[in-house]
Every structure is written in C-alpha cells, then in structure tokens.
C-alpha cells in the first residue's frame, strides 16, 4: 500500500530543493553586474564554474534524501507514478515549472539508471516547441518613441542603471544611429517606429554586458544587441549587432553561458526564440546557463525527430577518429560520439582521460571556438534506425558502450554535439575560392583565440576542426587538449654538418610536453594559394616566441579579450 505522506514528502523535497538550487544559481548570477562594474573579469569566470557545478551537487543531495524517504520502495514504479502526480500539483503555477520538471527527471534518472526513459514516471513532451503563457509581469519594457533617433538610443542606454558612468554616451548613441540608420531606411517600408522593446535583464559574459531588444515598425521588426565594455575611462558601446545571423553567433553553442538574472526563464527563452528563429530552444537554454534543461529539450527534439522522419543513423562523413566513433542522421543537425573500446597508436590515452577532457571543456570559457557536447547515458533506440555499416562499426569498436538487444540498441554513454562540416572536407569538396580563403584564415584565428584562452588543441590537423553554418571554424576533438602554460614551446634543434656526415641523427630529445611549432606548417597551411594566404596572416603561429609571449601574458594574470562578434564590427573609439 502506498503511503501518501511519504509520496508528498518525496515530491515536496524535490520541488523545494530545486527552489533552493535556483536561488543559489540566481545569487551567483546577480554578482555579474558588480563584477562587470568593478572589472573583476577573472573572478566572474571562476563564479561561472561554481555556478555550473551547483546542479550536480543538488542532484546528489536530493537523490540521497529520496533513497532515505522511500527505502525499499525507491524502485517502485507505482510509488513514482504517485510522486510525479504530486510533484506536478506542487510546481504547476511556478514560473520555472519546466526547469523543475527537468530537475525531477534528473532524480528519476539516478534511480532508474540502467532503464530507458519511462513517460509514466518522468516528464516528456512529445509536442513541438510552443511559447509559455504570459505572466502579469513582462520580461521586457517598452520605450515609446515615434522614430529611430539618437534620443531614442540614449533612452535605451540610460534605462540600465549602472554604477559606472559612460565615457561619452552622446558619441555612443551617434555611433549606433550611424550604423543602423542606412539599413532601416533601406527597408523602404513604413518607417514610423511603433515602439522599442528592451529586455529587462542584462546579459553578462567575459568582459562584456549585452543589452538586448527589438525595434518594432508597422510591418516589420529588427532585433538589436548592444555590447558594452567597461575600461579605464568608464562604459562605452563597442558595437551594435542587428543582423540575426550575427546575433545567433553571440548566443552560440561554442561560448560560455551568459550571466542573466530572471525569474521567468521560459519567457526569456520565448523572447529570444522570437528574435532568433533558427536557433534551437535547447541551445538558447544552454546560453543562459540552464544546461540540464537544454539537454532535456535536445532529447525531446531528438525523439520527436526519429519518430516523425524516415531517417537512419549513419557513420558521420569524414576521417574516422581513433578515439571516437561518430555517427549522425542524414538530415539532423547533431552528431553522436561514442568513446571506442581501445585506441590505435599513436593514441595512448585512456577512456577515463577522454571523459575528463570533455568535462574540462564543459566548464571552460570556450571563447566561441569549441563545441559544447551534452553527455547522455542509457539511451535506447530502435535497431532498424541504424544502417548495417554503422552496426558493424559499433559492434567492432564500441562493445563496452553499445549493446544490441533484439530490436533495440542500448547506448550507455554518448556525447551529442552540433553537426559541422569537417574543415578538410569543406576545403576539398564544398568551398568556392572566396569561402576557402575566408575559412582558412578563420582556422588560424580559431587557434590563436584558443591559445589566448590558455587552450592548446594538441592535434591541429584540419579534420579536427569543423565549419558551422555561419562559416566559423570550431575545434571539436578534445582528447589531446592541454593548457598553453603547461607546455614548453621549442625550436627544432639545428643538426650540424659534421653530425650529418657521421650519421648522428638521434641527438634531438623531447619531453612529452615539448611542442615544436615549426612543425605545424606542414599540415596547417595547405598547398596552393590558400596556404599562402594563411602564411601571410598567421605565420607567427609557427614561431615558438609567439606561444611563449602568450604564456607570459597569461602567467602575468592578464585576462585576454574576446569578442562575440567580428572585429570589423567594433566602433573605432577616438581617445
């Protein structure tokens, strides 16, 4: 017989503990404004890591308490059906109900760790994304004005009460107007501005604070993102971004999450989704720090896709990896990566080492150059969705992780990551000459930006980098990454003529952490014109001094600058 008091206590404990978790999450998030104003950028990064670890800490705590409350009934499906019903009643009116349901699922996944997903006791929405009902309190404010002007822009900038003055707010407002006015006028449509909506929360990340909103005209609207920086002379507008594709990059899966405080996360996501229609809802949740709910949305979208499309899992195009077996669906925008049972030479790392590297990437500041991968455990798929070639691949190299059971495929451990075109394939098969030049240059900028973030990719081969739909080059092979500051960058010792004559070619010795940048040119700069273009822009990458200089700057405590938009978009501020 089910004890109703126990059911209520178990459900209420999960709900209450999530509220406490959310309070702790928001307390850390709220510190971003002060840290931005005081220019405590390195400290903000540390708080970001602290915030990331909160969720797992509370899941462990609640799981332990749930075991204590339920005792022998902890694995009872009947009990969990009642707990789900009670939990639904407790959280139904909370603005963060969806996130609470995800937290509940995290507990059931700990209990039924080796079982596939069960909708009777867990939350799963098979319907497509739909906006949440509106609350009395809107997530945005409205600035009434009749036309787009410098005055209207100043109203936006002055809406946010920073404790640091603007360097020159009139100059900044004029810069924004001068940048946007030609595009607005080019619409040749109704140019009487109806209103400006501005999101109440500020989006903080790295050195920047981002103001987000939309301009509404009679027949059309325009998104607007205003990045602010805070330096010696105060606040200033660094740029204005109003093209959706460029805004999408700011909210990319390759960047650390924003610090953005809101009591209404679902409403905030709805607003962002209206601005960025091609951005997935899960990725938007990731971008504001709700990674676990982003993972829930990703799983929901995957299940909806495979149930509603006639598509099969195939081996992912590209060179097969020595560490990961990678597969995808023909028309799905993600790839699935499974660690192989054993690695062929020259790879000599362990499975545990690879997992650790992926965990490091999760909490690192990925500076727009490393893909975020969600870890899923104990997924179940119909066997008929897998091609014969993929089944052979998984049976041959992933027996420890993948089990074929009748008409089911059970996967114990898999990373799901955004799909990109491998850089080597892009340059060989898909790029026209102009795109090839642009992308090979971005490959160099990718390596440089990772280095500035104290990340050395390890394996710099083209196949380990991918090209996004926006044409950005992203690194996605993490088993050999290390810290730039942990490595020794050396020149290749010169062989003396007398040694060559005597046949003494064994005099060069190297430790495991020794790196010889001069060797990079052989595989980083392709033959032909695009290789020459790469060398003209990025030749310093092959000089050990370049890497040593970065080491010195990092070790001196310098927090290097990164921008979520192209450098050419930055305003030229006259001092």
Q: What is the DSSP letter of 495?
A: P
* Counted domains in the chain: 4
Task: For helices 97-111 and 41-70, give the axis angle rounded to 10 degrees.
Answer: 60
Q: Looking at the domain assignment, is residue 574 inside a domain?
A: no
82 with 192, same domain: the answer is no
Does residue 265 fall inside a structural domain? yes
**Is 207 found in the same domain as 264?**
yes
Whether 72 and 193 map to the same domain: the answer is no
Residue-range definition of the domain harbouring residue 361: 310-419
Q: Which residue has the tokens 């973030």?
A: 453
* Same-domain check for residues 299 and 154: yes
Q: Is residue 220 in a domain?
A: yes
As a whole number of angstroms, the distance between CA 201 and CA 211 comes to 8
Same domain for 161 and 101, yes or no, is no
Number of H helices and E strands in the chain, helices first, is: 18, 17
Query: What pTM value is reported for the model?
Result: 0.90
Mean pLDDT by 10 residues, the chain (575 residues): 94 97 96 96 89 95 96 94 96 93 95 85 80 76 87 94 95 95 77 89 95 91 95 95 94 92 94 93 95 93 90 92 93 94 84 89 83 92 95 95 94 94 90 90 94 90 92 91 93 69 60 90 90 94 95 83 84 69
| Pairing relationship of beta strands 313-315 and 473-475 according to DSSP bridges | unpaired
Quick one: tokens of 464? Answer: 């380990």
Classify residue 503: in a domain, yes or no: yes
> Is 127 contained in some domain?
no
- Give yes or no: residues 404 and 330 share one domain: yes
DSSP string, 44-86: HHHHHHHHHHHHHHHHHHHHHHHHHHHGGGGG-HHHHHHHHHH
Burial class (CB within 10 angstroms; exposed 0-12, middle 13-18, buried 19+) of 315: middle
74 and 151 housed in the same domain: no
pLDDT tens digits along 111-120: 998 787 888 9
Same domain, 415 and 438: no
* Angstrom distance (rounded) from CA 333 to CA 314: 13
In a domain, 126, yes or no: no
Q: How far apart are CA 442 and CA 530, in angstroms?
A: 12
Q: What is the pLDDT of residues 64-92, one digit of tens each?
A: 999 999 999 999 999 999 999 999 999 99
Q: What is the CATH number of the domain that holds 520?
A: 1.10.510
Are 205 and 250 found together in one domain? yes
């Amino acid at each position: 017989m089910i004890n109703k008091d126990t059911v209520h206590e178990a459900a209420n404990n999960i709900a209450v503990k999530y509220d406490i978790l959310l309070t702790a999450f928001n307390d850390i998030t709220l510190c971003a404004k002060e840290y931005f104003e005081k220019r405590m950028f390195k400290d903000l990064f540390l708080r970001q890591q602290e915030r990331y670890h909160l969720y797992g800490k509370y899941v462990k705590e609640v799981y332990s308490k749930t075991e204590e409350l339920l005792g022998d009934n902890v694995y009872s499906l009947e009990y969990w059906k009642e707990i789900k019903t009670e939990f639904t009643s407790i959280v139904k009116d909370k603005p963060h109900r969806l996130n609470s349901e995800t937290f509940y699922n995290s507990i059931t996944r700990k209990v039924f760790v080796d079982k596939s997903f069960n909708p009777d006791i867990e939350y799963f929405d098979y319907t497509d994304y739909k906006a949440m009902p509106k609350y009395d309190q809107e997530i945005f404010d409205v600035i009434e004005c009749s036309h787009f002007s410098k005055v209207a822009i100043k109203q936006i900038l002055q809406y946010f009460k920073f404790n640091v003055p603007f360097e020159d707010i009139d100059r900044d407002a004029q810069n924004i107007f001068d940048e946007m006015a030609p595009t607005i006028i080019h619409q040749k449509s109704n140019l009487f501005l109806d209103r400006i909506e501005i999101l109440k929360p500020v989006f903080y990340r790295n050195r920047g604070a981002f103001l987000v909103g939309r301009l509404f005209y009679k027949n059309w609207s325009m998104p607007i993102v205003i990045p602010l920086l805070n330096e010696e002379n105060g606040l200033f507008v660094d740029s204005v971004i109003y093209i959706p594709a460029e805004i999408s990059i700011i909210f990319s899966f390759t960047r650390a999450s924003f610090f953005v405080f809101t009591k209404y996360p679902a409403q905030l996501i709805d607003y962002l989704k209206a601005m960025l229609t091609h951005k997935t809802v899960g990725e938007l949740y990731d971008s504001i720090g709700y990674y676990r709910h982003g993972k829930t949305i990703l799983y929901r979208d995957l299940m909806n896709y495979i149930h509603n499309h006639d598509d099969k899992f195939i081996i992912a195009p590209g060179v097969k990896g020595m560490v990961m077996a990678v597969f995808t669906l023909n028309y799905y925008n993600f790839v699935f990566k499974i660690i192989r049972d054993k690695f062929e030479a020259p790879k000599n790392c362990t499975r545990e080492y690879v997992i650790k590297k992926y965990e490091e990437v999760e909490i690192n500041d990925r500076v727009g150059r490393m893909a975020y991968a969600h870890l899923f455990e104990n997924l179940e798929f119909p066997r008929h969705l897998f091609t014969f070639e993929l089944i052979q691949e998984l049976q041959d190299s992933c027996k420890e992780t993948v089990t074929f059971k009748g008409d089911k495929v059970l996967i114990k451990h898999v990373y799901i990551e955004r799909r990109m075109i491998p850089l080597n394939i892009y340059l060989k098969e898909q790029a026209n000459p102009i795109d090839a030049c642009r992308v090979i240059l971005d490959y160099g900028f990718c390596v440089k930006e990772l280095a500035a973030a104290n990340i050395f990719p390890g394996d710099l081969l083209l196949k380990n980098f991918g090209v996004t739909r926006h044409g950005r080059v992203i690194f996605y092979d993490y088993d050999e990454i290390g810290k730039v500051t942990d490595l020794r960058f050396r020149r290749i010792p010169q062989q003396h003529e007398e040694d060559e004559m005597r046949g003494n070619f064994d005099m060069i010795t190297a430790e495991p952490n020794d790196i010889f940048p001069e060797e990079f040119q052989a595989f980083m700069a392709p033959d032909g014109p695009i290789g020459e273009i790469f060398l003209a822009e990025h030749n310093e990458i092959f000089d050990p001094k370049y890497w040593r200089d970065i080491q010195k700057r990092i070790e001196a405590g310098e927090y290097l600058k990164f921008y979520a938009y192209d450098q050419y978009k930055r305003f030229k501020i006259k001092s």
